[in-house]
Each structure stands twice: as structure tokens, then as C-alpha cells.
Chain A
Amino acid sequence: MNKTKIGDLKDLDKFNQFSRWVDGHDILIFRLNNIIRGISNICLHFGGPIGYHEIKLRDGKPVFTCLWHNLQYSVETGQCLTQKNFCLRKYQVEIENEEIFVFIN
């Protein structure tokens, strides 16, 4: 696994989330309940960006909604709630000196 810088903590200041392409991976970094996590930003349907919109609530639980076709994914698990057999990859995240790193293959 390669450890790669994806951004800085200040990138989360505005929306509590941001996405960025790193070596062919589009990774969505977000902060929820003061925990910073990383998830694939590529919708498995047609490849749309799931982090285009702010986090929304579905049945009281936080979800990401793909801009293109409204597929919704659980923020906590990456499981798609619209198409049950879709699940997004989660990336290991590390914070060092105000910088955010992800581990990719």
C-alpha cells in the first residue's frame, strides 16, 4: 500500500468533505462525528461523483447522493441503498501534522 498525501485538514473546513483524484483513484474525504474517513467517490453505476452534494439524511441516516442519477450510499458503510449489490471501497486515512494521507494500492 502506498501512503499518499491527498490534502490538508483545512480542506475540510468549508464543507466537511472534499474529493480529489490520486493516481487513478477518486477519493472522497469527509469528517463525520469528528472522525475523518475516506471512501471511493466513483459511483458503481456509471462513474458519477457521489460527493458532489453535501451529506443528506435518508431515514435519519447520513447518505451521499450521486449527482448523475441520485444513487444513495450510506456514509458509514459505503453500502448503496438504491442498488443493494453496490458497495464503495473504503480507504485507510492517516492524519499527520495537519496533512491528510490515504493508503492506496
Chain B
Amino acid sequence: MYKTYLTSVSNAQSNYPKKLLIWNYWDHEHIVGTHFEYYKKVNIIFENDNFCYSERWAKLPYFPFYIKSTDICVLTNENQMDVFHSTLFNIIRCKQTFVFEENKNNTCKVTRYDYLEIPKILKFLQPLFDKMMKKWFLDVWEEDMPMRERRLKVWELGFKDFIGIDYVNDPNLKKESNLNRPYKLKLPITKITQIKNDGSKKVFLRLFKKSKHIGYGLPNL
């Protein structure tokens, strides 16, 4: 059977440094936290500093059921990440390429290129695929945006992973006024919330399906 591809391109501009965006994409653990309405389970089978092999149970836009996918994520170079998804016994295969373009003012544009392999007879689905992938990109982007904003904010206040902020933890310490440090990224991101840890395999589950969202907080007085 002749094969072809459905394609889609989505992009967005962020106000955050590239390393912070890559931290967000490589924080596979947050998928069942921040994105709990879309994902119910993630197995990380293997990962290192530029490669992650995982399984995910996801609900895509317009689909009422969960789909299990096998995903390989590769940080191809410092400006590009390639993700290969396969599902339904490898019948459906999709490749996504994320290109990061950092500007001088520490902002970064992300462009995602999607390719879904299909029999040529299904090429008529191109408009639907394009619409679905653009919606997915935007939904996830908007859900991640407050996370990125907050991550940068706590970083600029001196946050250290697994420790917190010194002057918050210790009331005797004063807040440093001019703490100016570039965002640092070390992969893989240390994981602690897995329910199973079998060698390099780690299993993450969402804790609940629905929640009353109170949000990221009230505006400043």
C-alpha cells in the first residue's frame, strides 16, 4: 500500500529562555500532573541526557478515549528535539520535530512540525489533521505557559530544586535583591514521584481525574 504523510506546522513565541522550555518538554513527570486532563499514565522505560523512551496514555482532541503510545524523544542538538510516536501496534506512526530559536533577549520561539504516516487513500484527512494538531499544540502550550512563567520567577528568586528558596525556608535570612543568574538545565531531570521504580523504568500515574481549579493565585495588591 502506498504511504504518504499528513503534515502540520504550529509555532508560538515565548518570553522564556530556551533552556527553560527544554526543561519543560523534558519534565516527563509533569504530564500526569499539569496535563492530568489529557494524560493518565506515563512509563519512562529509559532516559539519559538526550534520549527518552516512554509509554503514554493520552486523550487527543476530538477523541473520547485514551490511546497508548510509545514515544522516543531525542534532543538532536541544542536547538532541536525530535519525537517519534507510535500507537495501535505500530500501525499509526507520527514524528514531531521541535525547533527552538532563542533570541538575544532570552526569549524563544518554538516551531513544531508534525508528520503522520498514512495510506495514500487517507490523504483527504489532511485538513482535519492540521486542525487537530494545531489545537493540541495550543492547548498544551497554554497549559504549560503559567508553569514556565512561575518556574522562571522562582528561579530568579533563588529557587534550588529539592531545597526551595533559602529566605522562604529560613525566616532569619533576608531576600537577596540582585540575584541575576542564567537559567541552568541538567538532563535528565531527577524524578521522585514514580509509583514503581524497576531499574531504569519508572511509572507515573495521575492522582485524580477532575479538580476544581483555584489557579496560580490572586493578582498583587
CB–CB A42/B164 < 8 A: yes
CB–CB B217/A53 < 8 A: no
Interface residue B34 (Cβ < 8 Å from any Cβ of A): yes
CB–CB B192/A82 < 8 A: yes
Interface residue A67 (Cβ < 8 Å from any Cβ of B): yes
| A71–B154 CA distance with the chains assembled, in angstroms | 17
CB–CB B147/A48 < 8 A: yes
Q: Which residues of A contact B161 (CB under 8 A)?
A: 45-46
Total interface residues on B, CB under 8 Å, equals: 42
Question: Scoring B residues 186 to 221 as 1 if CB is less than 8 Å from chain A, else 0, what string do you get?
Answer: 000000110000000000001110011111111111
| A5–B218 CA distance with the chains assembled, in angstroms | 13
CB–CB B212/A53 < 8 A: yes
Partner of A25, one of B32, B168, B211, B218: B168
CB–CB B220/A20 < 8 A: yes
Interface residue B29 (Cβ < 8 Å from any Cβ of A): yes
Partner of A89, one of B29, B168, B212, B214: B168
Interface residue A56 (Cβ < 8 Å from any Cβ of B): yes
CB–CB B162/A18 < 8 A: no
Interface residue B157 (Cβ < 8 Å from any Cβ of A): yes
**Which of B4-12, B52-60, B70-78, B170-178 is near enough to bind chain A?**
B170-178
Q: Which of A20, A21, A104 has the most CB of B within 10 A?
A: A21
Q: Is the contact region of chain B dominated by helix, strand, or loop, or is it mixed?
A: loop
| A19–B214 CA distance with the chains assembled, in angstroms | 9
Q: Which residues of A contact B213 (CB under 8 A)?
A: 52-53
Interface residue B95 (Cβ < 8 Å from any Cβ of A): no
Interface residue A83 (Cβ < 8 Å from any Cβ of B): yes
Interface residue A51 (Cβ < 8 Å from any Cβ of B): yes
In chain A, positions 1-59 with a C-beta closer than 8 Å to chain B are 1, 5-7, 11, 15, 17-26, 40-42, 44-49, 51-54, 56
Q: Which residues of A contact B193 (CB under 8 A)?
A: 69-71, 82
Question: Scoring B residues 58 to 102 as 1 if CB is less than 8 Å from chain A, else 0, what string do you get?
Answer: 000000000000000000000000000000000000000000000
Q: Which residues of A contact B151 (CB under 8 A)?
A: 46-47
Q: Which residues of B contact A24 (CB under 8 A)?
A: 157, 165, 167-168, 175
CB–CB B217/A83 < 8 A: no
User: Within the complex, what minimum Cβ distance (angstroms) separates A91 from chain B?
Assistant: 9
Q: Which residues of B contact A25 (CB under 8 A)?
A: 168
CB–CB B220/A105 < 8 A: no
CB–CB B154/A47 < 8 A: yes
Knowing A70-B32, A70-B193, A105-B172, say if A52 contacts B215 (CB, 8 Å).
Answer: yes
**Pairs across A and B, CB under 8 Å, 24 listed:** A5-B221, A18-B214, A18-B218, A20-B219, A20-B221, A22-B221, A42-B159, A44-B164, A45-B162, A48-B150, A49-B216, A51-B217, A54-B211, A54-B214, A65-B207, A68-B33, A69-B192, A70-B33, A70-B193, A71-B193, A89-B169, A89-B171, A105-B172, A105-B174
Interface residues of A (CB under 8 A from B): 1, 5-7, 11, 15, 17-26, 40-42, 44-49, 51-54, 56, 65-72, 82-83, 89, 104-105
